[in-house]
Amino acid sequence: MAVGLLITVCSFLFAYFLWKTLNSRDRKWLSKVSGPPTLPVFGNAHMLKTGGSDFFDQVLEYSTLYESQTMFKILLGSHAIVVLIKAESVEKLLNSSSHITKSVEYRFLEPWLGTGLLTSTGAKWHSRRKLLTPTFHFRILQDFLEVFNEQSQIMVENLKKKVGGNKFDIFPYITHCALDIICDTAMGVNVDAQNDSDTQYVKDVYKISELVHRRQKAPWLWPDFLYSLLPAGRQTKECLRNLHSFTQSVIKERQRDLQASFENEETLSSTSSIEDFLRITKRKRVAFLDMLLLYQRNSNLSDEDIREEVDTFMFEGHDTTAAAANWAMHLIGSHPNVQEKIHKELDEVFDGSNRAITDEDLKKMKYLECVIKETLRLFPSVPMYGRELKEDFNIDGVDIPKTTTLLVLTSALHRDPRYFPDPEKFDPDRFTLENTVGRHPYAFVPFSAGQRNCIGQKFAMNEEKVLLASILRNFTVKAHQKYCDLRPMGELILRPENGIWVSLQNRDV
């Protein structure tokens, strides 16, 4: 019975991909783009490695093999993916106002995120971007800074228990801190991940990310009906039920609190500024969800629209920041000279004080910012991102047809020796003001660029600085891994397969 079902499924998939191949548009253009050898029907799908770190190594090997080109191709069945690895080609794509649609691979995020800011396109994306931009106003970012400080201090207290002991994996400490930060700033709730990392919401966030990435790489998992019958499909459904239930319950509760804070409907409808909102509600600070609920009164946002954006903010603002801070910990702990410069800068800013970090302090952390940028060059939180062409597009004389996926491989782009000599070397001085003069503006795009650049990049940089500064004000860090031990996994987010192992010593400031 099981064998018969397997044969039927395989026959169906073979026929499906054969039909797709035979009915695809003129594919002569593919001969003009280099790439690994393909098989009929399957393309390169059969040779792509399934493990996150193995897959990432494989893609980087391709970028090295074809580094004399501006791009290379990979075929998943009949679906062509053109990978861009040079700044000049990336600029042409990201600067285009016609090609703002995320690639088809992003559709596997839609069951979780809907068509929010990350996955939407066209008129919906433009209206959402315009609506959401004020939510990252400097006044709100200042409120968020208070959350950064509070949660970072909890992390530091937990890390103090590790001082002077054996090496340990710091990855979960930083990641749970980032999750507490995003839950507080996005929804105004405390999941207390730093003290209870076994909560269902935390586990589901990690599981859904893993499942989505696995599906993106496997064309045989793309048909929705087939996927729903498999164990992975059932796991995905369970995770989505938990995640959406949690977010929706928070939205409902926040709506009730908001309504109760106002004397009447007229007062609520006329409240549009952050200052009025905080004054009338007598709240200490505003959350991203609060602003969406405020906008809901003067726009056509539904509760489902709000859930989409809150879930999107949770996804984009959690793992990305945590991963970058963890990579920075490894690099700082591996380079004592860099750590010494950071300590010196922090001592000049704080003069031995243990006070909270202010916005003015963040502006003074110029060398730490260079360290963060160099970390993002070597280990970009989003190692690749794609666009689907909505019309034919010419790159370097090749007419690439619409529906093709163009993939920006940031991990390879950031290693272009034309702009970053000795590219594997960790050198924060690459990002001093004088050393960035004349560099191609699209040689370093960890937050994307153009119209669809990351709306929360200022939020992310501020959080990174607070997380790292909080640790390094208190401790000296020593790394206990070489690059080969890390095994970066190029999934939705670039994470180390084996964690980030360090040891800590107290600082005598």
Enter the DSSP assignment of 224. Answer: H
Which of 388, 448, 450, 452 is closest to 129 using CA atoms?
452
Number of Cβ within a 10 Å radius of residue 187: 23
* Dihedral angle over CA of 111, 112, 118, 121, nearest 10: 20
Q: 3-state SS of 228-296?
A: HHCHHHHHHHHHHHHHHHHHHHHHHHHHHHHHHHCCCHHHHHHCCCHHHHHHHHCCCCCCHHHHHHHHH
**Whole-angstrom distance, CA of residue 475 vs CA of residue 477:** 6
Number of H helices, E strands in the chain: 21, 11
**Whole-angstrom distance, CA of residue 199 vs CA of residue 60:** 35
10 is in an annotated binding site: no
The β-bridge partners of 489 are 495
What is the residue type of 304?
Answer: E
Which of 272, 247, 128, 276 is closest to 182 using CA atoms?
247
Give, in degrees to the nearest 5, the angle at Cα 49 between 54 and 329. 25
Which of 504, 506, 468 is closest to 152 using CA atoms?
468
**Whole-angstrom distance, CA of residue 379 vs CA of residue 374:** 8
Binding residues: 454
Binding residues for heme: 454
